[in-house]
Amino acid sequence: MTKENLLTLRWNYTITLVQGVPTFAFAAYGLLTPFGSTQTGMIVLSLVGALF
């Protein structure tokens, strides 16, 4: 695969969605659930975020 074939608009959208959707879902889950309001919950969310 050449560099020109790799750097297309379609691939850019695909990479953005593959990286962005899980990140947004994780952030929304962490902010919108009561799980993050406790110390243990924050530690778990931080560890999962670091591994993700």
Q: What is the pLDDT of residues 12-51, one digit of tens each?
A: 899 899 999 888 888 888 888 787 678 888 888 888 778 7
Q: Quote helix, strand, coil % in the chain, to nearest 5.
A: 85, 0, 15
Say if CB 42 and CB 12 are below 8 A apart: no
Angle among Cα 40, 41, 43 to the nearest 5 degrees reads: 65
- Residue 1 is predicted with a pLDDT of 64
Question: Which residues does 52 contact at the CB level (< 8 Å), separation at least 6?
Answer: 22, 23, 26
For the chain, give every domain's residue range. 3-51
- Residue 18 is predicted with a pLDDT of 92
Average pLDDT value over all residues in the chain = 82
Is the full-model pTM beyond 0.75? no
